[in-house]
Amino acid sequence: MKSGNSFIALGGAQSVGASSYFVKIDNRSFLFDCGRGISDGITLGPNMGVLLQEECINSLSQLDQIFISHGHFDHVGYLPDLLAMNAISSVIASPTTKELGKYLMSDGSEKQLQGLSDDKRQIYNQRLQGAFAKVQTIPLNITQQFEDYQVTLFEAGHIPGAVMTFVETSTKKILYTGDFLTNPTLLTKGYCLPKGVKPDLLVLCGLHAMHPQYQPVRIENISVSYMSICLQKKQSVFLSIKQLTKGLEVIQLLNMRMEKGLIPEARIYVDSVLWRIADSFSIVGQSVLTQRCHRIQEKNIDKNLGIYIGTGKMEKYFAHVIKFDFSLHASYSDIVKLIKDTIPSQVMVVHTGSPRNDDNSALISEFCDIEIKFCKSENRYSI
């Protein structure tokens, strides 16, 4: 086994999906996230084999700790398989991710289950339940001591339960951001990092790290005037959402705008997958379902006036369809601010993505004293 501090992106380097980042430091082996990606109907996991080829570890059971940043499929989707096949001692996540992770990841897990036999579905579900049962939680903002290293989780602001992970060994400090957001949303407060957090290595999920000109759309700026016109004309409208967590934000937005009288009072019909997640949020005391929310019954879709929310497949029933999308990721300027605030000596930028006018020179030239790498998948870097 090779010694020396190293970093390898096993998946989700310059793409979204299969996020999994290995860090070896002071002979401790850590894995930050363990996701899956879906491309052209095929689900891909991270390439764990690289760790054995590169002789970072002799077996996956030697991983000291797996940290899960949040419940999205691209960050946790591979965990059930990894734990089912390997004797891994410890997985850490926030209490909310442990409670809600199996629901939050259903964007991807539902796709992964499509076309599988009942037996295979059952095995998958058992692995899923088993994986989340093994997750240990630590409360946010309280440093936990583990043998010869310390761990603190901080609010990442991206979705409920999402955290930044700060690991301190005797010689190095590492901050893994996971997906993060600066602005508050309707369900989160934005990331919250104390001033004293000064990592040597920053592993940064920078979806917009190559998009200096791009201003992501925020939910509070979304116009609802078209929806109001439809309702005034007594016509239903379908809001097509791309991701389930965003659907929860939309339900919250509609409730708030109806309470303020900005949209006519109407029933909100929620599709069954989204309903299951929304309902699960009551476990952590953050329910978005109000009296005006109802579960969509497919047979009654066109009979009841209201606002319908779901993923695309119900569009065909509606004359008025609004594709609702907004961003839950930090903008380029937010990324610059995070680096300025934490002044690391090394930054590994991962999880970059569309819109594709990719140019990493802007961020690199912004910081001449900091080594910034847009790291390649499966490449070993010294840290």
Cβ 318 to Zn ion, closest distance in Å?
A: 28
Subset of 283-322 contacting Zn ion (CB under 5 A): none
Q: Is the CB of 74 or the CB of 249 nearer to Zn ion?
A: 74
Cβ 329 to Zn ion, closest distance in Å?
A: 8
- Report the residue closest to Zn ion, judged by CB: 72
Sequence-ordered alpha helix ranges (H) in 54-181: 73-76, 79-85, 95-104, 106-113, 118-134
Q: Is the CB of 81 or the CB of 107 nearer to Zn ion?
A: 107
Q: How far apart, in Å, are the Cα atoms of 155 and each of 19, 210, 240, 258, 344? A: 19, 24, 29, 29, 19
Cβ 284 to Zn ion, closest distance in Å?
A: 17
Q: Is the CB of 4 or the CB of 355 nearer to Zn ion?
A: 355
Q: Is the CB of 28 or the CB of 72 nearer to Zn ion?
A: 72
Closest CA to 35 of 51, 53, 17, 49: 17
Q: Is the CB of 95 or the CB of 264 nearer to Zn ion?
A: 95
Subset of 222-281 contacting Zn ion (CB under 5 A): none
φ, ψ dihedrals at 189, nearest 5°? -105, 0
Q: Is the CB of 72 or the CB of 211 nearer to Zn ion?
A: 72
Secondary structure of residue 66 in the 3-state scheme? strand
Q: Is the CB of 72 or the CB of 380 nearer to Zn ion?
A: 72
Q: What b/e sequence results for 94-121 when a residue is b if at least 16 CB atoms lie within 10 Å of its CB, and e otherwise?
A: bebbbbbbbbbbbbbbeebeeeeeeeee
Neighbours of 202 (CB within 10 A): 26
Number of residues in contact with Zn ion, rule: CB under 5 A?
Answer: 3
Pair 173, 179: CB distance under 8 Å: no
* Binding segment toward Zn ion, per CB under 5 A, in 52-60, 67-75, 104-112, 340-348: 67-75
Cβ 37 to Zn ion, closest distance in Å?
A: 10
Subset of 68-107 contacting Zn ion (CB under 5 A): 72, 74
| Site pattern 186..225 for Zn ion (x: CB under 5 A) | ----------------------------------------
Cβ 62 to Zn ion, closest distance in Å?
A: 26
Q: How far apart, in Å, are the Cα atoms of 273 and each of 112, 311, 314? A: 15, 9, 13
| Site pattern 136..175 for Zn ion (x: CB under 5 A) | ----------------------------------------
Cβ 19 to Zn ion, closest distance in Å?
A: 6
Q: Residue 19 is encoded by which pair of tokens?
A: 């996020």
Cβ 203 to Zn ion, closest distance in Å?
A: 13
Cβ 351 to Zn ion, closest distance in Å?
A: 6
Cis bond before residue 212 (omega within 30° of 0): no
Q: Is the CB of 5 or the CB of 177 nearer to Zn ion?
A: 177
* Binding segment toward Zn ion, per CB under 5 A, in 167-175, 179-187, 208-216, 305-313: 179-187
Pair 203, 209: CB distance under 8 Å: no
Residues composing the chain = 383
Neighbours of 15 (CB within 10 A): 18
Cβ neighbours for 91, distance < 8 A, ≥ 6 positions apart: 65, 66, 67, 68, 79, 83, 131, 134, 135, 136
Q: Is the CB of 35 or the CB of 80 nearer to Zn ion?
A: 35
Secondary structure of residue 17 in the 3-state scheme? coil
Cβ 245 to Zn ion, closest distance in Å?
A: 7
Among 179, 249, 271, 334, binds Zn ion (CB under 5 A): 179
Q: Provide the binding-site residues for Zn ion, judged by CB under 5 A.
A: 72, 74, 179
